[in-house]
Amino acid sequence: MQMVSVTTPGTDSAIAVGIIGASGFTGAELLRLAAQHPNFDVVIATGDSMAGRRAADLYPSLEVAYPDLVFTEFDKAQTANLDLVFLGLPHEASMALAPDLVGSVDCVVDLSAAFRLKDAGAYPTFYGFEHDQPELLAEAVFGLPELHRRELAGARLVSTPGCHVTAATLALRPLVEAGLIETTGLIVNTLTGITGAGRKPTETNVFTNIDSNVMAYGLGKHRHTPEMEQEIGGELIFTPHLVPMSRGLLATCYARPADGCTDEAVKQALRSFFAGEPFVAVIDGPPETKSVLGANAAHVSAQYDERTGTVIAMCAIDNLTKGASGGAVQAANVALGIDEMAGLATVGVAP
């Protein structure tokens, strides 16, 4: 997929940003990225459960950039003069709030799943609630620029993909489009850092349960499954695993080859699809999560194992950056017509 330039000359003025639900991990990551963004000016950062608390007390890494920022309770009046709003709220809360914001600010970027699925009928099964905003659901643009860059330009409502979905889609969608793999019987296994479980202490993310442990969850019914099938274009089985690291995500995907599939063909399909993409690198060996730590980069690879007749496609991302807040900033940049790479690193933190 050839890169399309989205930079608009002369758009270097400040963009007033609000982060609704800023006290969670994705909110903190948004604050980190906004601090290095040449256009973003964070005006409000709400966090009802942390209202009145200084952001740098909760996240000391924010001390230099935000010494005076205090989380506030949400008040719609605060959004009156904003250009861009990020929603880091539970799904139903985002669904309820979005109608009040879309149209009153230039762009709303939702990090929940409230507007990801085009089939409203999937929400009761996978998320446990009825979707009551069909018009906004139809308008929302899926926030993965590598697939939807043209639709994102000028979008009023952007739905940021799930982290597992981002990795699996980048690994498999090029092979589906090239006709090199069967679109049934796909298998997606992911390993993800514990920040994917959220900041609130639970039995899942308490240190004694995650340390030296790997656990699978959501077998056969994970809520990201329909989102993956929608974006990849195939039927799949998805099994995520929590591993004892703070951040990072590695997707390993398996597919049956279609006629004409070769090892060189799958590699060339990735190279062609991602030619010119600023944040995706096609590499020869298996990708590693440490290579993309803190970056908005995705490292992808694929190979065809002739002995077993299996295509193996892999993708490594940082679950909080490219898999959440970084992807949200990238999509917002495209929607607002500014430099797509603004505020986002392509190099991971190493060693």
Tell me the per-residue pLDDT of 221-272, one tens digit each, with 9 for 90 and over.
888 999 999 999 999 999 999 999 999 999 999 999 999 999 999 999 999 9
Mean residue pLDDT across the chain: 93
Encode pLDDT of 35-69 as tens digits.
999 999 999 999 988 999 999 999 999 999 999 99
Percent of the chain with pLDDT over 90: 87
Please give the average per-residue pLDDT across 89-111, as a whole number.
Answer: 96
Instruction: Reply yes or no on whether 253 is catalytic.
Output: no
Instruction: Identify which of 294, 209, 269, 220 has the alpha carbon closest to the alpha carbon of residue 243.
Output: 209
Q: How far apart are CA 146 and CA 181, in angstroms?
A: 20
- Backbone dihedral region of 195: left (phi > 0), alpha (psi from -120 to 50 degrees) or beta? alpha
Encode pLDDT of 157-216 as tens digits.
999 999 999 999 999 999 999 999 999 999 999 999 988 777 777 777 788 888 899 999
Confidence of residue 10 (pLDDT cuts 50, 70, 90): very low
Instruction: Identify which of 221, 244, 97, 225 has the alpha carbon closest to the alpha carbon of residue 168.
Output: 225
DSSP 290-317: GGGTTSS-EEEEEEEETTTTEEEEEEEE
Q: CB of 230 within 8 A of CB of 118? A: yes
How many residues can be counted in the chain?
351
**6, pLDDT greater than 80:** no
- Backbone dihedral region of 325: left (phi > 0), alpha (psi from -120 to 50 degrees) or beta? alpha
The residue whose two tokens read 């969608």 is 173
Percent of the chain with pLDDT over 70: 97
Domain with CATH 3.40.50.720 in the chain: 15-160+323-336
| CATH for 163-319 (3.30.360.10, 3.40.50.1820, 3.90.550.10, 3.90.1330.10) | 3.30.360.10
Q: CB of 290 within 8 A of CB of 350? A: yes
- Which pLDDT score is estimated for 12? 59
Domain with CATH 3.30.360.10 in the chain: 163-319
Q: CB of 266 within 8 A of CB of 303? A: yes
- Which pLDDT score is estimated for 1? 40
Amino acid at site 108: V
Beta bridge partners, 110, equal 87, 159
Write down the catalytic residue from 107, 163, 261, 315.
163
**Fold of domain 15-160+323-336:** Rossmann fold (3.40.50)
Max Cα–Cα distance, the chain, nearest Å: 63
Instruction: Identify which of 154, 127, 156, 158 has the alpha carbon closest to the alpha carbon of residue 143.
Output: 158
Encode pLDDT of 286-308 as tens digits.
999 999 999 999 999 999 999 99
Give the per-residue SS3 of 143-185. Answer: CCHHHHHHHHCCCCEEECCCHHHHHHHHHHHHHHHCCCECCCC
> 226 φ, ψ to 5°?
-65, -30
pTM of the prediction? Answer: 0.94
